[in-house]
Structure 1
Amino acid sequence: MVAPLHSLSINSRILVGTDRCTIRYRGSVLGTSGEWMGVEWDDPSRGKHNGEKEGVRYFDCRLANSGSFIRPSSPKIVLRKPFLATLKDRYVATTAENTPLEHESVILGRSGIEVEAPNLAKVRKRLAKLRELREIGVDDEGVGGMGEGEGEEMKQMGEWKTRGLNLSSSLIPSWEVVALIVQHLEKLDSLILTSNRFSPLKIPTLLPFLKNLSHLSLNDTLIGWKEMLLLEPSIPNLSSLELSSNHLTSLYIDPVSTASSPFPKLVDLRLDFNSFGSWDQLLPLATLSSLRTLSLSYNSLPALPPSIACFPPTLETLHLANNRIPNWESMDVLAEKATGLIGLTVRGNGFVDATPRALVRLGLIARFGELKVVEGSEVTSSERKDSEIYFLSLNPDFPVDKIGRKRWDVLVEKHGAPTNSKSQPSSNAPVLSDKLLNVTIHPPPPASPLPLRLLPTMPLRTLKLKLQKTIGIKAASMRLFGKEAEGATEWEGDRRELSDLGVEEGGEIWVRSD
């Protein structure tokens, strides 16, 4: 049974000032007089304890130290608001009815901006057609459920055309109340419930009014994978799910479930800003048969083990920014375990921070044969060719039994074996040296000239990075010229290839620094 909006019963949601919380206890507290309410704050920093005081347990909290006691008579308490009344206030707010017509005005939503509007009667009539709104937002308004008679009123208004509803930062206490709010929004396909706290589901739950949802946002709700499996019967058409900032440490594996592939239409899953610290905690991801985009940024995920088995074969885009991945060997593992990746984000990991940015991009492109987007930037065909050839020049040999060797073999077959390679390429593979130019590099005096072998397709920025390691001048301050004479024009355009700059067999390049 759904509690009335004015209720201060257990599990009711309220505002205290501007802070949301859930009532977990009502009664006396040892050593005090009068009645108290024990509350669990949405923001744990507002709490003082875990529901225990002086050795007596009064209630439990889902997050550590997020509980405290308040008086039921506190003037700061704000009760839940009805959905439809709040909707009207936000979208049909007008000035007083007795304002003369020529001076009538409308207040735009929550902005408080008052705009003069001639023929306001027509404007008001149009705004009153709430059911015509395609997107509705009553986030952060204290909505807690349906007011008395509001369900019938929404029904009498006719068919609603709303496709998106934002109920973030609300006072809704349960999924049952969510269902009551959306029951007349038959076209609804996107529901945002971020920063809410619902009573946890205990059994598989069927809420038919959610059946058409394709997108569901449950960030900052503390809802985990186990509860999502209980909700699955209600959302058979879900294709996009957000569970970020939910303090998740693992994805639940149901030992008795007969469903081998839950959420069969789920394409996009967001699990950012959680507390995953092991790849084994993510094993259920392998059962998502349609998953194409997975976001795991801002967790604590370590190096990828060769035995990793959490990526479904359908995966195309993976976001791993700001984890604790320490080495390039993890990328070799990923390249063999997620062969269909076309998009990848890895910034903020240890191996990235220890590598020049351009070489990070080069290393990723070379390892992943299908990659089309790296860190949000598209990969060009010439960039792929240069990256693969340069990768071979940096790795003339690759142990046969080391993960990543399969990719090395593919690149050798495609571009030829490095001349100093001890590994045996296939008999018909060309030799990489056949494509290299012999060039003389002239560092600033008193350093001596340096012979190098370079690809004619090498971009200028890649040459600068190579020279940075060779002669010790930072790429950012390096200036390159095709002539020694004073007044020679500096080469510009980091993406320009050496052949475009006129570099040929036996050519010379002069290096200067700022």
Structure 2
Amino acid sequence: MEVGQRLRVNVDVATIRYIGEVDGYGSQRWIGLEWDDPSRGKHDGVVKGHRHPTGGSLMKMEAVPQPTDLLFEIRDRYVEDENVENEIELAQSSKKIELIGMEQTAAKQSNIEKLVNIVLDNRSVGFPPPSDSPQFPLCQELNLYGNLLFKWETVGQILKHFPKIRELNLRRNRMRSFAEEENECEGEIYSESCRKLVISECSITENSLDPVLRRFPTTSEVVAFGNDLKRFLVSDSVAHRLTLLDLEDNLFDSINAIEGVFPNLTQLSIANCGITSLADFEGCSRFPRLEYLNVRGNVITDWRSVNAMKSLKHMKRLLFDCKAMSVEKGIHAYEVVIAKLSTLIDLNRFDVSEVERRSAEIRFLNKYAGIEDKTDHQEDITRLIAIHGEPTLDTAKKGLTVVQIRIECGNRVETRKLPLAMNVQKIRDMLTRLFKLSHSANARLYLVMTEKTKQHRIELDNPLREFGYYSPSEDRDILVVEHD
């Protein structure tokens, strides 16, 4: 045993902080444990007037359970389990063979080398397999979530047995700083095949990030949330190969705490990082290929931050707390975000359809073109006028609740005033009677929207949605009725 080693006692995990004698207890050796859960400790660290680590316990050395090695846990998980056949994925055949007694056990043992996915979450792995351990040449995913690893050297020794690993999960293994590693050689490689590395809640220090990632030279996806990082800085060689970076629940305060240029990064999560503004965000130069951005859980309330995200020329998906934004009366913040970010196809995991984008852009124009202070919106107003034409006076300001629109059904054409608050089903019923159709269930409504020389045909297929949702134009749009 050594100071810094991780232990599991029943379901509780602790770190060894002291090994030695305790005054008043003779020459007996004791282990001082600091529990991950401070309430698990038996005292405040004082024994007979001498202070020992707080939030912990003192245990006799012989009573402390030792961590296990990886091979022991694999055998315990996959050999002794009665349902092992259901958990072992063979490389070339899924055919089941029913064996009994010792033959069954022998078959299970030989099959562990053919495991493709090994999941050992919340176990007691603290050491690598013995030197004579078999290789796992087919294993592509190794999940060591919540084990007792604390040395990077041990991780490297484990991976020598996994030549084809593609995903490694080390989450909730409290790793010591890379600077404390005694036997590390500069330039040592842990895995040439690992593509995805999960090092979340591992107590990773800012100075350990680059040395660790350089030992995984083909890793392009890094998940490192919950490490209390205040900055993210890696070498150019690492930054240039990253395609996915999850840094949620760190302590950045600013987007600029993520330093460097990431030319191939397509997905970035910085949720819950204490960021209050993105106003000086230079996405185009630093993240030229970014398609997905998660900034939820950050208190961002200024429209300059949303405007700054327009520098992400390829952004398609965004997670953002729209409700924190102030907007003009009668329009939702998410509509303004959609109107401003023209490349979005998904906002907060909801598809931004063609009709939703058009509606948001027209409503934004009608609400904001006439306001006094256009500082944060003038660029968008100018761009959208070029697409949709000059805005009309907002219907709420005119006191209008209806729109007069041209309606076509076959060769027949009518002009009617339709209430904006009426839902699609009621409009369908009304037009069924107007055009003497057999049954409203057979009628389909389409809004043909004309913008300059371009037309869009949108089906009104949600019977509960209000007609006003589609922002119909009296001058440019036609309501088409079709029936079987």
Q: TM-score, normalised by structure 1?
A: 0.69
Contact 1:321 1:346 (C-alpha < 8 Å) held by counterparts: yes
Residue 247 of structure 2: aligned partner: 271
Contact 1:440 1:451 (C-alpha < 8 Å) held by counterparts: no
- Cα distance in 1 for partners of 2:337, 2:471 equals 27
Amino acid across the alignment from 1:178: V
Aligned pair partner of 1:68 in 56, 62, 67: 56
- Cα distance in 2 for partners of 1:356, 1:179 equals 59
- Give 1:176 deviation, angstroms: 0.8
Contact 1:145 1:172 (C-alpha < 8 Å) held by counterparts: yes
Aligned pair partner of 2:125 in 125, 135, 143: 143
- Cα distance in 1 for partners of 2:367, 2:472 equals 25
Residue 308 of structure 2: aligned partner: 333
Residue 199 of structure 2: aligned partner: 218
The reply on whether 1:179 has 2:153 as its aligned counterpart is no
Amino acid across the alignment from 1:72: K
- Cα distance in 2 for partners of 1:130, 1:454 equals 72
Amino acid across the alignment from 1:299: C
- Cα distance in 2 for partners of 1:500, 1:164 equals 47
- Cα distance in 2 for partners of 1:325, 1:440 equals 30
- The answer to which of 202-211 and 223-232 deviates more is 202-211
For residues 313-324 of structure 1, the aligned pairs below 5 Å read: 313-324=288-299
Unaligned runs of 5+ residues in structure 1 are: 1-7, 60-64, 96-104, 111-115, 421-435, 442-448, 458-462, 468-474, 508-514
- Give 1:94 deviation, angstroms: 6.0
- Cα distance in 2 for partners of 1:340, 1:132 equals 41
The alpha-carbon distance between structure 1 residues 122 and 73, as it changes in their structure 2 partners (threshold 3 A), is: closer
Residue 88 of structure 1: aligned partner: 75
Contact 1:291 1:315 (C-alpha < 8 Å) held by counterparts: yes
Secondary structure at the aligned position of 2:337 is classed as helix
For residues 62-141 of structure 1, the aligned pairs below 5 Å read: 67-73=55-61, 75=63, 77-93=64-80, 118-120=98-100, 121=103, 125=107, 128-141=110-123
- Cα distance in 2 for partners of 1:236, 1:47 equals 41
The reply on whether 1:301 has 2:275 as its aligned counterpart is yes
Amino acid across the alignment from 1:325: I
Contact 2:240 2:261 (C-alpha < 8 Å) held by counterparts: no
Q: What count of residue pairs does the alignment treat as equivalent?
A: 426
Alignment identity in percent? 23
Contact 2:190 2:216 (C-alpha < 8 Å) held by counterparts: no
Contact 2:195 2:221 (C-alpha < 8 Å) held by counterparts: yes
Contact 1:29 1:36 (C-alpha < 8 Å) held by counterparts: yes
Residue 240 of structure 1: aligned partner: 221
- Give 1:403 deviation, angstroms: 4.4
- Give 1:168 deviation, angstroms: 1.0
The alpha-carbon distance between structure 1 residues 54 and 279, as it changes in their structure 2 partners (threshold 3 A), is: farther
- Give 1:346 deviation, angstroms: 1.2
Residue 212 of structure 2: aligned partner: 231
- Give 1:129 deviation, angstroms: 2.1
The reply on whether 1:195 has 2:150 as its aligned counterpart is no
Aligned pair partner of 1:37 in 25, 31, 34: 31
- Cα distance in 2 for partners of 1:51, 1:397 equals 67
- The answer to which of 29-38 and 372-381 deviates more is 29-38
Unaligned runs of 5+ residues in structure 2 are: 89-95, 408-417, 435-439, 441-459, 478-484
The alpha-carbon distance between structure 1 residues 222 and 106, as it changes in their structure 2 partners (threshold 3 A), is: closer
Residue 6 of structure 2: aligned partner: 13
Aligned pair partner of 2:342 in 351, 364, 369: 369
The alpha-carbon distance between structure 1 residues 211 and 500, as it changes in their structure 2 partners (threshold 3 A), is: closer
Secondary structure at the aligned position of 1:364 is classed as helix
The alpha-carbon distance between structure 1 residues 54 and 394, as it changes in their structure 2 partners (threshold 3 A), is: farther
Secondary structure at the aligned position of 2:13 is classed as strand
Residue 251 of structure 1: aligned partner: 231
The reply on whether 1:411 has 2:384 as its aligned counterpart is yes
Contact 1:36 1:72 (C-alpha < 8 Å) held by counterparts: yes
- Give 1:355 deviation, angstroms: 9.4
